[in-house]
Amino acid sequence: MGIYPKKNSNSSIEDVAKGATKGVLEWSSETIIRYITKLKNKELGFIQDEKTMKLVREIYNSGESKFYNTYIKDKELLFLINIGLILRKLEEEEDRDRLANLRDKIHRKYDIKGLHIAQFVQNGILNRYIGISIDEMTTLDKFQEDILKVLHNIDEYVLFVEGGEDSSMVIRKVGVMSAYDLPIFIVSGIGSAADIVKESEDRIKEFFQSCELEKMSRGKKEILFFKRIRI
């Protein structure tokens, strides 16, 4: 059983696919250049890193970025999502210094919420959340509404575990956040925090006994998705 009742699921998924294709066709090279220039002048100036700026063209030309551009109309959210894709690319290249530097700049400019939105994308959580939403989708409007709701309220839906925390602290936070009774709740631990999530998993599951658990475990990432079962 899923989060929402399934109605016209096949038609909805086709709508998403068609929309993504349309977005790719309309997102021309000229449009990308204009958009990057605009962002560089007004928003990306805080990066001031030539190598990182070179990644922008690649990211904004990717299929994933075009998909988000089709379905997320909030420009600030879309910007942070693309910054998250840049973080992911730097992580893949194991460019730790530039990754840490960009994370710090995002935090300073957009505060912890902006950083968390970027990390939500960097760590592949948004991709998986969209996969869950498509599987449970009733209408395209509801699909878009659900994505925006999570992004706008990121720190209600996701607990980002920090490396300096201990399992008892994490469990206390989960206990408080579990009272929100949301359709999905996510616990994310990266690096040393992944071990803390693993240590805490059994206790965390006690708060979500009416939920389905899905895990993303790879490398130094441990992410728990708790999907509430609606009867």
| Confidence check: pLDDT of 12 > 50 | no
pLDDT tens readout for residues 85-130: 999 999 998 888 888 988 998 999 899 999 999 999 999 999 999 9
137 confidence band (pLDDT: 50, 70, 90): confident
| Confidence check: pLDDT of 35 > 70 | no
Structural domains in the chain, sorted by start: 9-125 (no CATH), 154-228 (3.30.110.140)
| Confidence check: pLDDT of 186 > 50 | yes
Q: What is the pLDDT of residue 27?
A: 46
pTM: 0.77
3-state secondary structure the chain: CCCCCCCCHHHHHHHHHHHHHHHHHHCCHHHHHHHHHHHHHHCHHHCCCHHHHHHHHHHHCCHHHHHHHHHCCCHHHHHHHHHHHHHHHHHHCCCHHHHHHHHHHHHHHHHHHHHHHHHHHHCCHHHHHHHHHHHCCCCHHHHHHHHHHHHHCHHHHEEEECCCCCHHHHHHHHHHHHHHCCCEEEEEEECHHHHHHHHHHHHHHHHHCCEEEEEEEECCEEEEEEEECCC
| Confidence check: pLDDT of 215 > 90 | yes
